[in-house]
Structures are given as structure tokens and as C-alpha cells.
């Protein structure tokens, strides 16, 4: 059986950044396994600009951002194999993969980095009886068709869900000559980034209908039209608000979900809120030597933060291989989101093992204006930061300092909350 | 005095900006996190521009399409003319990142460049 110190599952931005950081930290034996025909992950189909301002201080398109990392991987001569699907990982860190040339094969790893990204939530979201005529696509599938294959899914389009992919596709299809009639969102706020609403809808006069959903689909062979209705605060359609739209295409942009079948099957414990693994400050899962980063850990909107998080996972995996598991004295502090904070990554933090500063990322469950982020060490508030706006579509972060944590040896719980002014 | 509420789109942070105008004159801009936000706010009320991205066909490459962008921002009202100008263009592989696909698109003085190697 082939052996590697670090095996990385997935060659998207997370896998690439993790590999580079592990090499920078001195690891030589690294292998990336990617099921697609090229490295770069979802970035290959995201041809729009807006990637990398935080990292590179310029605004790149998805493929350009990916190229920065693939070039580095090539330069470092980090090994990778394409067209290779990982189908199983054992708790003993034997990775089983499959490709055309070698068939089924096993690789023994000392450390594993999970970087499989996420997939789109499916049609199940379309909770209506009746036919499913041709012309209904997930927004990501449509993005792939248009951007990679040059194929237009239709001429008259309605988009259900205001996730970023749907917004980006509203603009793309409009520019390609289609008529995007409306974007309907069942929630009272958009799930996408503000900038995408401005740039993709407002710029082109495409209406965004919040608290609206599709209640009827017309057409047998090919989609002919849909009916929208307003919903009440429990998501139930309100009679009398129905509006009919004719359209040949319906795109579903109802969110992303981390792709964790492999992780679950090997015994990695999941956080039900994120559908990603529960990790400690090293981004290590409950299975020793197995780390997670990027969209498989929690769905990110900004690739810069994916790269940053993945670099930390790569470095930690590399240190794990060099030094073995560091079992520090002292307690693991539990990190918790309450009062509007839905989750935190990581879920626990060990003050002795942590680096000088630790980034904690989280999302809020609603739109909050003129509020504060409160951070509590047990019951004592140690941070009170003003925020103009917070929305579920945008990831938030705070930094914790090792020095401060060491000064409070009695803390066993850190809580992050949204506090109204 | 007129107040215009904008969202900076120079990066995905999307900071909320407030531009205060005295007639045509900008008297104050607030809400930005970095310098680019101020520049954006100034420009958006006087001369709004955008980067435009699209794809064109490729022959003989590892994919059938190559992604492209305007090397710099172009005026917002030139966007659809720019996209039209790209229709029907086919380039031959190999294409490298930064290769000029079409120069001076829609008379803007800005080139269309490839954003992917094919
Ligand atoms: C439509 C869209 C628009 C976006 N717009 C922006 C933007 O404007 N700015 C910005 O900064 N960010 C944006 N993002 C976010 C950013 O692109 C993602 O957060 C980032 O790509 C996630 O990286 P990842 O490596 O975790 O996942 P991915 O890019 O999904 O990579 C995961 C990789 O793992 C591989 N894989 C999965 N399972 C297996 C397996 N079993 N075996 C082998 N390989 C496997 C996949 O093939 C894939 O290549 C956008 C995302 C999307 C979807
Ligand atoms: S002000 Fe700076 S940080 Fe804020 S959106 Fe604009 S470019 Fe991004």
C-alpha cells in the first residue's frame, strides 16, 4: 500500500491552500486526491470577479484565483491525482479511491485533511406536488452549463432562492440575452451577499421578492410557467397574493450543504447546525489526525477565508505528523453561540495548544441592525463590538488572544451573542 | 444636502456607504472599511463602472469555453454592448491568463483578457 504523511481529499481552494501550508511547514510527503478533471474546485465555474481582494489586494475571477494556488502547487511539486474519487476513509486513515487507470486502490495516511467542499441542496426544496417538466435546474448546474459548456438553459427565467449562485446567474443569463423575470426568496431577507444583490439584480432592474415562494408549476414536457405567492411568517402561502409568470426555466438557488458522507462514515462527529464536522482550535475532528477546512467544514461565502482556514488546517496537520497529538494539560474550553449566533467554528479551544491568536467564525440567524457582538468568558463580558448590520448570508469573525485566555485559568465556556443596542 | 446610501461592491464585504452631496459636490463619505470604499463611493455617484466577465468559445483546447473579463472597469452603460461584442468570437488554443481576446471593447479603450488557461 502506498503511504503518505498527509492525504488531502479534494483539490478545491481549501485542499490547495492546505497542501501549500503543509509544505511551507516542512512536510514533504503530501498527496491531493481530486475527482474532477482539473484542480480548483467550484472556482472553475465561477467566472465572475470578486475573489481574493483580502488575500491578493486585487479583484480576481474564480479561475484566476485558483490559478494562483495551482501554480504554487506545481512549483512546490506537490503530488496530486485527478479524475480520482475517494469512496471510503477508515478510522485507521486508510483512504480508498478509484480511477480509470488504477481501478480501486488504498493509501495509508498519517494525517488526513477533509476538503470536499459542498453541494447544492436539491429539488426537495421545491415542496409542491405535480409534474417536474424539463427546464428546472439547480443554479449551480445552470452555471456549469453556461460557463463551461456554453449552453443556455432557456430564454425566460424565474429564480427561486436568493443564494449567491442564483444572483450571479440572474446577471449572467440577462447578459446572455435571457429575460430574468423575478427572484423569489421565501425568507424575509436574502441569503446572498449584499454586493451580489446590487451588482446582479439592482443593476439590471430584476425584482427581488422577499417572503415569496413558488406554489405551482405549469407544463408537462417543458416548463411553461409558475405561480408565486407571498408567505406568512411561518412560510405558509397567503391566499389572494398569487401571481402568474410565464417562463421556460426555473433555477433553484436554495443553499449549499457540506459534502460529508465520507466523514460521517469514518466516525467523524457532525454539528447539526453546519452539517460539517465538529472541530477543535486546530480544526481537528474527533478522529485524531483528521482535519477539516473550507466548505466541507461550514459553508463560506468568501474564498479568502477558505484559503486562510485551510492554511491553518494544513499547518496543523503537518505539525501533527511531526510531533504526534499534543495532549496539553488543562481543560478544553467550550465555544458556544447563543442569542442569535447559530454556531461557531471551532467548537472547542485549548488555551495551551492554540496559537497567539485564534480566529472564531460564526453566522447569525437573522438580520440585525445597530447591534453588538458580545463575547463572554463564563459570565464576564470581555468584548462588546458594535456592528452596523449582520445578516445570515455573511460570515462573521472575532479573534481570541492566547495571552488573555491564559490570564483566566478558570474559564470553561466562551459564549458569543448578538446583543441589541 | 442630499444623502445617498450605497453598498460598496469593490469586494465581497459589501460595506454600507453614505455619500453626502451638496448639489453635484461630494462633501462627505462614511461607512467604508478601506480606501477602495471611498474611491468607489465617489465614482458610483459621478461615473459608475463595472468589471464585466463572460466566456468565449475555444478551438482545440482542453475545454470548449474560456472565461474572460474586461481588464479594467468599463462604464456601466457600456455593459450590454460589451457582452454583444463577445458573441460569435472563437479563439484558438492555447490561451493563457491575461491574453488579449478583444482589444478596445465597445470603444471603451479597455481590452478583454482571458482569465483561464485553456
Ligand atoms: C456560485 C458561487 C459563487 C461564489 N462567489 C464568490 C465570490 O464572489 N467571492 C468569493 O470570495 N467567494 C465566492 N464563493 C465562495 C468560494 O468559491 C467557496 O467558498 C470555495 O470555493 C470553497 O472551497 P472548497 O475547496 O472548500 O470547496 P470546492 O471548491 O467545492 O472544492 C472541493 C473539491 O473537492 C472535490 N471532491 C469532493 N468530494 C470528493 C471525493 N470524494 N473525492 C475526490 N474529490 C472530491 C471536488 O471535486 C472539488 O474540486 C462562491 C461560491 C459559489 C458556489
Ligand atoms: S470599503 Fe473596502 S472592505 Fe468595504 S466593501 Fe469596499 S473594498 Fe471591501
**Residue B12 and residue A389: Cβ atoms within 8 Å?**
no
- Verify whether the Cβ–Cβ distance B14 to A394 is below 8 Å: yes
The string of pLDDT tens digits covering residues B67-113 is: 999 999 999 999 999 999 999 899 999 999 999 999 999 999 999 99
Distance CA B43, CA B64 (A): 37
What angle, 0 to 180 degrees and rounded to 10, lies between the N-to-C axes of helices A303-323 and A62-75? 20
Question: pLDDT per residue over A212-244, tens digit each?
Answer: 999 999 999 999 999 999 999 988 999 999 999
Nine-digit cell string for A73: 502547487
CB atoms within 10 A of CB A166: 31
Distance from residue A306's CA to the centre of ligand 1 (Å) = 9
The pLDDT assigned to A131 comes to 73
| Ligand 2 centre distance from Cα of residue B78 (Å) | 24
For chain A, residues with pLDDT lower than 70 are 123-127, 129, 328-330
Please answer yes or no on whether A150 and B54 come within 8 Å at the CB atom.
no
User: What is the b/e burial string over A286-322, where b = at least 16 CB atoms within 10 angstroms of the residue's CB?
Assistant: ebebbbbbbbbbbbbbbbbbbbbbbbbbbbbbbbbbe
Q: CA torsion sign, A65 to A68 to A71 to A77?
A: negative
Look up residue A204 and give its three cell numbers.
Answer: 439590471
For residue B9, give the nearest of A64, A149, A198 by CB distance: A198
- A2-9 and A30-33 beta bridge pairing: parallel
**Cell numbers found for residue A253:** 438557488
Asked if residue B62 has pLDDT above 90, the reply is no
In this predicted structure, what is the pLDDT of residue A126? 66
Q: What DSSP designation does A296 have?
A: G
Report CB contact under 8 Å: A150, B63.
Answer: no
CA dist list (Å): A52 to A59, A85, A95, A134, A203: 6, 28, 32, 37, 23
**CA nearest to B68 within chain A:** A47
Contact A53 B10 (CB under 8 A): yes
Q: Establish whether domains A1-120+256-326 and A122-254 are of one fold.
A: yes
Q: What pLDDT is attached to residue A58?
A: 82
Position with higher pLDDT, B10 vs A166: A166
- Please list every protein residue whose CB sits less than 6 Å from any atom of ligand 1: A 9-15, 33-36, 41-43, 46, 50-51, 85-86, 115-117, 143, 164-165, 168, 259, 262, 294-296, 300-304, 306; B 12
Strand B53-59, strand B65-70: pairing: antiparallel
Four-point Cα dihedral B77, B79, B81, B83, nearest 10:
-170
> How close, in Å, is residue A316 to chain B by CA atoms?
28
| Residue A169 CB coordination number (10 Å) | 29
Q: Is A383 on the interface with B (CB under 8 A)?
A: no
pLDDT confidence of residue A194 = 82
- Report d(CA A398, CA A221) in Å as an integer: 51
Cis bond upstream, residue B94 (ω within 30): yes
What is the number of CB-based contacts under 8 A between chain A and chain B? 86
- Whole-number pLDDT of residue B81: 94
Q: Is A64 on the interface with B (CB under 8 A)?
A: yes
Instruction: Report the complex ipTM.
Output: 0.85
Closest to A267 measured CA to CA, from A285, A291, A292: A285
The grid cell for A248 is: 421556460
Fold for domain A122-254?
Answer: FAD/NAD(P)-binding domain (3.50.50)
**How far apart are the C-alpha atoms of A294 and A85, rounded to whole Å?**
18
Q: B79 Cβ partners below 8 Å, 6+ apart?
A: A175, A203, B50, B52
Which residues of B make CB contacts under 8 Å with A? 7-14, 16, 31, 36, 50-55, 57, 62-65, 67-69, 76, 79-80, 83, 97, 115-117
Helical residues (DSSP H) of A97-154, grouped into ranges: 139-149
Q: Cβ–Cβ of B11/A54 closer than 8 Å?
A: yes
Residue B58 reports pLDDT greater than 90? yes
C-beta atoms of B12 and A48 within 8 A: no
A112, A290 Cβ separation under 8 angstroms: yes
Task: Give the pLDDT of residue A124.
Answer: 62
Distance separating alpha carbons of residues A261 and A331, to the nearest angstrom: 31
* Per-residue confidence (pLDDT) for residue A125, from 0 to 100: 61
C-alpha distances (whole Å) from A243 to each of A225, A229, A291 are: 11, 6, 48
C-beta of residue A165 within 8 angstroms of C-beta of residue A140: yes
Write down the domain spans for chain A: 1-120+256-326, 122-254, 329-421
- Kindly state the cell numbers that stand for A332: 478544553
CATH architecture of A1-120+256-326: 3-Layer(bba) Sandwich (3.50)
Contacts with A389 from chain B: Cβ below 8 Å: 16
How far B23 CA lies from chain A's nearest CA (Å)? 24
**pLDDT for residue A349:** 95
**A405 CA to centre of ligand 1 in angstroms:** 34
- Condensed to tens digits (0 to 9), the pLDDT of residues A70-129 reads 999 999 999 999 999 999 999 999 999 999 999 999 999 999 999 999 998 876 666 676
Amino acid at each position: 500500500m502506498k503511504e503518505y504523511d498527509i492525504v488531502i481529499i479534494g483539490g478545491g481552494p481549501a485542499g490547495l491552500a492546505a497542501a501549500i501550508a503543509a509544505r511551507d511547514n516542512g512536510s514533504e510527503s503530501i498527496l491531493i486526491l481530486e475527482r474532477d478533471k482539473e484542480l480548483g474546485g467550484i472556482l472553475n465555474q465561477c467566472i465572475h470577479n470578486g475573489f481574493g481582494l483580502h488575500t491578493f489586494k486585487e479583484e480576481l475571477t474564480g479561475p484566476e484565483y485558483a490559478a494562483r494556488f495551482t501554480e504554487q502547487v506545481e512549483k512546490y511539486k506537490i503530488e496530486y491525482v485527478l479524475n480520482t474519487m475517494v469512496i471510503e476513509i477508515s478510522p485507521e486513515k486508510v483512504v480508498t479511491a478509484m480511477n480509470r487507470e488504477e481501478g480501486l486502490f488504498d493509501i495509508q495516511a498519517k494525517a488526513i485533511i477533509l476538503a470536499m467542499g459542498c453541494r447544492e441542496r436539491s429539488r426537495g426544496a421545491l415542496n409542491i406536488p405535480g409534474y417536474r417538466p424539463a427546464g428546472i435546474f439547480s443554479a449551480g448546474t445552470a452555471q456549469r452549463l453556461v460557463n463551461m459548456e456554453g449552453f443556455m438553459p432557456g430564454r425566460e427565467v424565474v429564480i427561486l432562492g436568493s443564494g449567491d449562485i442564483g444572483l450571479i446567474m440572474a446577471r449572467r443569463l440577462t447578459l446572455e440575452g435571457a429575460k430574468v423575470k423575478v427572484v423569489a426568496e421565501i425568507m424575509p431577507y436574502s441569503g446572498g451577499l449584499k454586493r451580489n444583490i446590487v451588482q446582479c439584480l439592482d443593476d439590471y432592474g430584476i425584482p427581488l421578492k422577499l417572503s415569496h415562494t413558488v406554489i405551482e408549476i405549469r407544463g408537462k414536457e417543458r416548463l411553461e410557467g409558475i405561480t408565486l405567492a407571498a408567505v406568512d411568517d411561518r412560510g405558509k402561502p397567503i391566499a389572494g397574493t398569487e401571481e402568474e409568470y410565464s417562463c421556460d426555466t426555473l433555477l433553484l438557488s436554495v443553499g449549499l450543504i457540506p459534502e460529508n458522507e465520507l466523514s460521517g462514515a469514518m466516525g467523524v462527529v457532525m454539528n447539526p447546525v453546519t452539517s460539517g464536522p465538529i472541530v477543535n482550535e486546530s480544526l481537528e475532528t474527533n478522529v485524531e489526525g483528521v482535519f477539516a477546512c473550507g466548505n466541507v467544514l461550514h459553508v463560506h461565502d468568501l474564498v479568502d477565508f477558505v484559503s486562510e482556514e485551510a492554511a491553518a488546517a494544513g499547518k496543523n496537520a503537518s505539525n501533527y505528523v511531526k510531533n504526534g497529538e499534543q495532549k496539553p494539560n488543562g481543560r478544553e474550553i467550550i465555544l458556544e453561540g447563543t442569542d442569535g449566533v447559530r454556531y461557531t467554528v471551532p467548537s472547542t479551544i485549548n488555551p495551551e495548544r492554540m496559537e497567539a491568536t485564534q480566529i472564531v467564525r460564526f453566522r447569525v440567524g437573522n438580520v440585525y441592525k445597530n447591534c453588538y457582538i458580545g463575547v463572554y468568558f463564563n459570565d464576564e463580558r470581555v468584548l462588546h463590538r458594535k456592528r452596523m448590520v449582520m445578516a445570515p448570508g455573511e460570515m462573521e469573525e472575532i479573534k481570541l488572544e492566547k495571552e488573555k485566555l491564559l490570564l483566566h485559568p478558570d474559564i470553561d465556556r466562551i459564549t458569543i451573542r448578538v446583543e441589541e443596542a | 444636502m442630499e444623502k445617498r446610501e450605497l453598498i460598496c461592491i469593490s469586494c465581497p464585504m459589501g460595506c454600507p456607504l453614505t455619500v453626502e452631496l451638496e448639489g453635484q459636490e461630494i462633501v462627505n463619505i462614511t461607512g467604508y472599511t478601506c480606501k477602495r470604499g471611498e474611491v468607489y463611493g465617489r465614482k458610483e455617484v459621478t461615473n459608475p463602472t463595472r468589471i464585466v466577465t463572460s466566456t468565449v468559445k475555444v478551438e482545440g483546447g482542453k475545454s470548449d469555453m474560456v472565461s474572460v473579463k474586461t481588464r479594467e472597469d468599463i462604464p456601466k452603460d457600456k455593459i450590454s454592448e460589451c457582452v454583444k461584442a463577445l458573441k460569435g468570437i472563437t479563439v484558438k488554443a492555447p490561451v493563457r491568463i491575461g491574453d488579449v481576446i478583444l482589444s478596445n471593447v465597445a470603444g471603451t479603450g479597455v481590452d478583454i483578457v482571458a482569465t483561464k488557461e485553456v
